[in-house]
Amino acid sequence: MSQTPPDLHYTPEHEWVADPDGDGAVRVGITDFAQGELGDIVYVDLPEAGTEVHAGSTCGELESTKSVSDVYAPVSGTVTAVNPALEATPELVNSDPYGEGWLFEVRPDDADAVGALMDAAAYSASLES
């Protein structure tokens, strides 16, 4: 069974969102369920800092031994950071999807956008349906 931390917000596309520093920029990654479905991640292509992203739009790709999967922006805003560790060790997305395997950070245009995403209970229920 995959993990679904209760303190995060989730998208139907299996991204998670957290506000680790409380400074308004949110951290984005893929869920444990998603990394399990993808298999071993071998390459990560993410937006550069300064890029404008739009909620629901493709903003990157994860390449695994099985396939290539799009990464979607969970909220609209400006990318403020990309996880530098993934360039050399993309497998962190598999081994620690909610920690060292985070993908990028974005400063949302709308401060309330994150709260509109699914909570852990709703995301877990979506996996069961």
Mean pLDDT computed over 81-103: 97
State in Å, rounded, how far the first CA of the chain is from the last one. Answer: 15
pLDDT classification of 122: cutoffs 50, 70, 90:
very high
Residue ranges of domains in the chain: 9-128
Is there a contact between 31 and 97 (Cβ–Cβ < 8 Å)?
yes
The pLDDT assigned to 21 comes to: 72
Token code pair at residue 24? 């308004």
CATH number of 9-128: 2.40.50.100
Dist. CA 30–CA 13, nearest whole Å: 9
Closest CA to 122 of 11, 1, 3, 36: 11
The pLDDT assigned to 108 comes to: 96
Mean pLDDT computed over 30-56: 96
Which residue has 């992203």 as its token pair? 53
